[in-house]
């Protein structure tokens, strides 16, 4: 299970690039990247992906795992792009 406090600690104290890397999120893989002042959230599966960048401070204002899941689900719903077939 994802721990929001650990994510924030990895961001603030260690300034890690990969906050999460391919963690299972239902039928998807979830990656969260630290790009200086932006946090990039990427959700992908075998058929496509969705991504979104948010401000570092906005990400740090997320206080619960439920709130993070709401953000991730909105990104998935509004931004999912299917890969094109060959």
* pLDDT tens string 14-58: 999 999 999 999 999 999 999 989 999 999 999 999 999 999 999
pLDDT band at 84 (very low <50, low <70, confident <90, very high): confident
- The C-alpha angle with vertex 85 and arms to 51 and 82, in degrees rounded to 5, equals 25
| Residue 7 backbone phi and psi in degrees, to 5 | -60, -45
pLDDT score recorded for residue 56 = 97
What residue segments make up the domains of the chain, in order of their start? Answer: 4-82
Contact by Cβ (8 Å): 62, 4: yes
Location of structure tokens 């999120």: 25
As a dihedral over the C-alpha atoms of residue 5, residue 36, residue 39, residue 56, rounded to 10 degrees, the angle is: 60
Q: How far apart are CA 19 and CA 41, in angstroms?
A: 10
Using CA atoms, how far apart are residues 25 and 23, in angstroms rounded to an integer?
6
Three-state secondary-structure class, residue 29: strand
Model pTM score: 0.93
In the predicted structure, residue 76 carries a pLDDT above the cut 90: yes
Does domain 4-82 fall into CATH 3.30.67? Answer: yes
């Amino acid at each position: 299970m994802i721990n929001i406090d650990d994510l924030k600690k990895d961001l603030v104290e260690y300034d890690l690039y990969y906050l999460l890397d391919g963690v299972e999120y239902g039928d998807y893989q979830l990656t969260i990247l630290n790009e200086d002042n932006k946090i990039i959230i990427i959700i992908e599966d075998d058929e496509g992906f969705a991504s979104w960048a948010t401000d570092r401070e906005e990400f740090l204002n997320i206080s619960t795992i439920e709130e993070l899941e709401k953000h991730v689900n909105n990104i998935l719903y509004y931004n999912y792009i299917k890969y094109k077939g060959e």
